[in-house]
Structure 1
């Protein structure tokens, strides 16, 4: 009788162990698909939502070669159109020449004056008169040359003013030379003084015209 009871207890215990084992296997089977589904959904979510700096709802478009060419064309069109081989116009060349004339003439006048100071000394009155006559002729020619340049540079109103000044100056030159020569009236130096005064006044007039009018 006791053996029969022990056998029943052993059978009950075995049955209980079997039930517990079946229950654990069922839970593991149910849990595994849920984990797999969770992992799969995570991977899909990562693939469907790329990380970008664009605002939500915007579509990112890649720029192909055609679009790049159009942009380059726009940038090129904004550059100024210049001709590297374009030569300066004749008017600009003339302007540069005219603007440099003043300095050029002042330099020439200084060289002429230096030549007068370094002229050879003469002894006879005839040689002195000849020397002063040559000096006057040289400065008078330069004065006419300067007057011709100013006739091209100045406008009509300025040129009219210069003509009037020049007429008055010629009168002043001759009167001053005459007055200076009268100090030696009847002497051997009267003619010399007249020509020498004309030469000196003409030299001063050359400087005055270049400084006042020439560009």
Structure 2
């Protein structure tokens, strides 16, 4: 019975840490959205219009990132009274699915926005990142090898890293 409580307390701590991580991501997206361009002549106006269209796409995806965070919080609230391993796996699995779906969507937009050279570089980087993500999740889960926490830890790390990658792609690559 003593180990059962340690497990529950450990999982509550993980959920709290993950929630805090999600909140820090929200803060980081509120950055540099102000333009200092001079719009007093027609040439600058045309350039600014082009930049505004790009900013609109980036802003749209920053909003999608925030929306996913809200959706994840709703999922957590739905299962807040259930501390079973099954419920925690469900929450984290759903969380991973949401972030992975958005990651694929963002990648598709970047394929349209980036030049072929930029896209080749991103494709290589993305392949390396997928290997890193999977290896990191596997390594983290091994601390619970053979236990009920093993799969949960694997999915938690997948979700965390995928969420981080979504923010990175939107903030650093999206035009």
TM-score, normalised with respect to structure 2? 0.66
Pairing 1:195–2:155 present: yes
Cross-structure match for 2:123: 163
Which residue, out of 55, 69, 72, partners 1:116? 72
Instruction: Find the structure with the greater CA-based Rg.
Output: 1
Poorly superposed stretches of 4+, deviation over 4 Å: 93-96
Pairing 1:100–2:56 present: yes
Over residues 18-47 of structure 1, what are the superposed CA-to-partner deviations in whole Å (9 max), with x where a residue is unaligned? Answer: xxxxxxxxxxxxxxxxxxxxxxxxxxxxxx
User: What displacement does 1:186 show?
Assistant: 1.3
The 5-angstrom pairing of residues 50-129 of structure 1 reads 96-118=52-74, 119-120=76-77, 121=80, 122-129=82-89
Q: Which structure carries more helix by proportion?
A: 2
User: How many pairs align?
Assistant: 124
Q: Which moved more, 1:183-192 or 1:162-171?
A: 183-192
Over residues 103-151 of structure 1, what are the superposed CA-to-partner deviations in whole Å (9 max), with x where a residue is unaligned? Answer: 1111220221233234221321111111111110110000000000000
User: What displacement does 1:94 show?
Assistant: 8.2
TM-score, normalised with respect to structure 1? 0.54
For structure 1, list consecutive stretches of 5 or more residues without a partner in the other structure.
1-92
Q: How many Å separate the matches in 1 of 2:130 and 2:149?
A: 23
CA RMSD of aligned residues (A): 1.9
Q: How many Å separate the matches in 1 of 2:169 and 2:154?
A: 23
Q: How many Å separate the matches in 2 of 1:114 and 1:205?
A: 18
User: What displacement does 1:95 show?
Assistant: 7.0
Q: How many Å separate the matches in 2 of 1:203 and 1:210?
A: 11
For structure 2, list consecutive stretches of 5 or more residues without a partner in the other structure.
1-48
Q: How many Å separate the matches in 2 of 1:212 and 1:123?
A: 37
Cross-structure match for 2:98: 138
Cross-structure match for 1:66: none
